[in-house]
Amino acid sequence: MRTVFAGLAAAMLMAGPAAAQELDFGVWCADIARFSSERCLEERPEDKAAYDRYAKSVNGFEAEKMRKDEAQRILNERVNRMGDVTQDQTRDNSLGR
């Protein structure tokens, strides 16, 4: 089940933000946990707890990915603003190093 979880978590990250919110308990129960339809309809407390842990984990992955993407965007923006820098424009050269 961990392999399925990791694979789905990665796929959901690629799907975009809030993907875990779109995956409700019924879908998780039937497609991810692969429980019987009868068990899914029961909505057992332990199954709900497992789903909540799953959703929390996926949301954590999404939040981390969004932070990394934003940091990369900022870095790219800074680099793109620099343009062509010659040796005499660098900080080290202006300090006489």
96 is a domain residue: no
* Residue 78: its H or E element: helix 45-82
Does 20 reside within a domain? yes
Residue 97 inside a domain? The answer is no
The answer as to whether 88 is a domain residue is: no
Task: Identify whether 92 is part of a domain.
Answer: no
Confirm whether pTM is higher than 0.85. no
**Least-confidence region, from 12-16, 21-25, 49-53, 59-63:** 12-16
Q: Give per-residue pLDDT as tens, 36-73.
A: 999 999 999 999 999 999 999 999 999 999 999 999 99
Quote the domain boundaries for residue 22. Answer: 2-82
- Report if residue 8 sits inside a domain: yes
Structure tokens at 3: 């392999």
Classify residue 90: in a domain, yes or no: no
Number of domains in the chain: 1
